[in-house]
Structure 1
Amino acid sequence: MIDIRETILAQYANSPALTGILERFNAAVDPQRSIETFLHDVWNPATAKGWGLDVWGRIVGVGRVLRIDTTGYWGFAQGYPTSRTFGEGIWYSGRGATANYRLTDENYRQLILAKAAANISAGSIADINRILMILFGNRGNCYLADTSDHTMMLVFSFRPTAIDVSIIASGVLPRPSGVQYRYTFIPPAKNDFGNDIL
């Protein structure tokens, strides 16, 4: 503390034993550094790390460990981004081999911020698109399209990984009642030199 006298009630301020104990404790322990560390590593979600992010995850209701489908099933990439083609995948039997994946601090921070935004959003397409920008804004275009058949299409202009699909399946996006999410991958157009057209 900077001035310990300001924290002592007037009725105890004249007690030499009590003020002596507090002054010696104040000299031995300076809480200012601990408070700054707490504010940086736990309180502020933009700078929190490790255990601090785990606390924020419990507050907003999202876990750090995600279940990821590790088996590539036969299908088409438009239906499910991690689908395999002929000779590469297996038929889906209703049960999949899954693995637990622990998100890094940066990925988990994005997931926490997206879930926090989802907790206070109205569930509109504009809100969901903002959340998608929080999650995938640095990877490419990703947006939500209303298909008018009780489904909403998540359109990716980049190849989403199994982790990306698991993040979306974790419930981070608000979903209106009776509406199901579908995924599609639209590869970016190429110019004559083979480069992506923005």
Structure 2
Amino acid sequence: MKVVLATHNPHKVAEFQQIVAQTRPDLEVVAYDGPEPVEDGVTFAENALLKARAASAHTGLAALADDSGICVDVLGGSPGVFSAYWAGQRKDAAANLELLLDQLRDIADPHRRAHFNSTIALVTPEGREYVVVGEWPGRLAQGASGGGGFGYDPIFIPDGQKEGTERTVGDFSAEEKQAQSHRARAFAELVPLLEKL
């Protein structure tokens, strides 16, 4: 089965392909080269559905779209749906990360709780629509670490690590990240729906 992933972000395409290969090797995820809709939704689900609908209509295939971001408790859940544009419309990942660190500069570790959210929409050419959510809880580091991942990965410390040996997702291997990430968690929720197609 072939599905199109509604993104022009090569990092997301590679990450999805790795996740899918581990759980559904019979599913081929292809990149999307069509027009991008305006993401004017105010929730992850609204934006994911906008993208999936556009990709399915453009390609005639079932389409997956992920809308994701980092949600920081002390900021009331922000950046949230604005994660990619936190430092402005340029989608500058380094600037976004630096701005978030600057905003939290005086916030002590116990108050740096955050989670990654991945909301995945699946839209079929027949118009069936599904939405699933995966969350990855943790907290934000005081500074960036590691050369892996992308976006906010270098400052996100996932829960569940042994104290004293904690690492950011930027320090994780691709395999470690794919096994635990918010996208992997959301995709696990999606698998039963894909099996119905």
Same fold (TM over 0.5): no
More strand by share: 2
- Normalising by structure 1, we get a TM-score of 0.25
- Normalising by structure 2, we get a TM-score of 0.25
Larger gyration radius, structure 1 or structure 2: 1
